[in-house]
Amino acid sequence: MATDIAALLAEINSTRPILEQVANKWSVLILTVLCTEPARFNAIKRRLDPITHKALTEALRRLERNGLVSRRVIASSPVAVEYAITPLGRTLQDPFTALVSWARQHGGALERAQVDYDGRGADDLAAGTRS
C-alpha cells in the first residue's frame, strides 16, 4: 500500500510541470474559445473579459511554446494575428468540455460551501477557535 502511494506521488510530481502549463485559468479558457474556431487577439480578449492585454499575451505565448496554439500573421493594414488550436491542443477539448460542464453543474454547490465555510470562520474567530 505504501508503495502505491509513493508511486502515485511520484507520478503526480512528474506531471506537475505539464499541468501547470495547461491547467491554469486563462489557458483553459483560451483553449476553450479556440476549440470552436480560430480567433484574432482582440476577439479572444473580448470573449475573456476581464483578462488583461498582458495576461492574454503571456498565456498565448505559453500555449504557442507548448504546441497547443498556432499563431498566424495576416498581412493586412493594420497587421492582424490569428490564433488557432493545434491538433495537440485539440486533444484537450474533451477534458476541458467535461471540466466546464462540471463547473456549470456544481458551481452552486461550491458557492454554498464557500458561504458556509466563511460563516463558520467568522463564528470560529469570534469563539477564538480558528487558527
- Quick: pLDDT tens for 96-128: 888 889 999 999 999 999 999 988 876 665 666
CATH architecture of 2-91: Orthogonal Bundle (1.10)
What residue type is assigned to position 129 of the chain? T
Element (H, E) at 18: helix 2-22
**Cell, residue 90:** 485539440
Domain boundaries, the chain: 2-91
Sign of CA dihedral 106, 107, 110, 112: negative
Q: How far apart are CA 60 and CA 57, in angstroms?
A: 5
pTM: 0.76
**pLDDT per position as a tens digit, 33-75:** 999 999 999 999 999 999 999 999 999 999 999 999 999 999 9
